[in-house]
Copies of this chain bind each other. A is one copy, B any other.
């Protein structure tokens, strides 16, 4: 199995953390890529016309994307429990994944505003509104600590990767002071071997 890799893509990391939790880490070959929101990588486009990572090649020749599809495929392959099969547990895990992905979508847009867009064209209100999505998501989680407690599934992994990305790119965002319950959860969850693992080409 192969995955188009970028060291600072939180969506790639989400797939790698899931693979690690599923015991598939050693079976996943990392391929180089140069994804960029404006200067589009034509090599990625050959596999995935959206030109985004992660893009995944299964051993039986399927090309899969995006991170949600790749993670569910890996879970299925390993007969894992990152995706509850049915019922309320499934919808809750998938909605928590959507919350984490939404935090990441917003954080990436704020990041593009900071570094990709020419300085004269930046719009502070847009950047602030994107980071406010992460803020209201964190407030939601902080008020409901049971949502994250005790779970190691695609929801927790996605939220964990969103916090990893906030720490990586917005170190002065200071979310721990405002959301101590989430901070306490992440202090433990973030120490899992899958979350501490380092990947490089």
Q: Which residues of A contact B (CB under 8 A)?
A: 37-40, 45, 49-52, 58, 60, 62-66, 68-69, 72-73, 76, 86, 88, 91-92, 94-95, 98-99, 101-103, 105-106, 116-118, 121-123, 125-126, 129, 132-133, 136-137, 139-140
* A45, A63, A103 — most chain B CB neighbours (10 Å): A45
- Enumerate chain B residues within 8 angstroms of A103, measured Cβ to Cβ: 50
Beyond A95-B63, A99-B50, whether A38 also contacts B68 by CB under 8 A is: no
Cβ-closest chain B residue relative to A86: B76
Given the complex of chains A and B, what is the CA–CA distance between A60 and B88 in angstroms? 10
- Enumerate chain B residues within 8 angstroms of A121, measured Cβ to Cβ: 121-123
- Enumerate chain B residues within 8 angstroms of A98, measured Cβ to Cβ: 50, 65-66, 68-69
Beyond A37-B126, A91-B64, A126-B117, whether A133 also contacts B69 by CB under 8 A is: no
Beyond A51-B133, A51-B136, 12 additional contacts (C-beta under 8 Å) are A38-B126, A40-B133, A40-B136, A49-B99, A50-B99, A50-B103, A50-B136, A52-B102, A66-B98, A76-B86, A121-B122, A121-B123
Q: Say how far A57's CB is from chain B's closest CB, in angstroms.
A: 12
Given the complex of chains A and B, what is the CA–CA distance between A39 and B122 in angstroms? 17
* A52, A73, A98, A118 — most chain B CB neighbours (10 Å): A98
Question: What's the dominant secondary structure at chain A's contact region?
Answer: helix
Instruction: State the number of copies, please.
Output: 2
Q: Say how far A91's CB is from chain B's closest CB, in angstroms.
A: 6
Q: Offer 16 A-B interface pairs, CB within 8 angstroms, sorted by A.
A: A38-B126, A49-B133, A49-B137, A50-B99, A51-B136, A63-B95, A64-B94, A64-B95, A66-B98, A66-B101, A66-B102, A69-B91, A69-B98, A76-B86, A116-B126, A118-B123
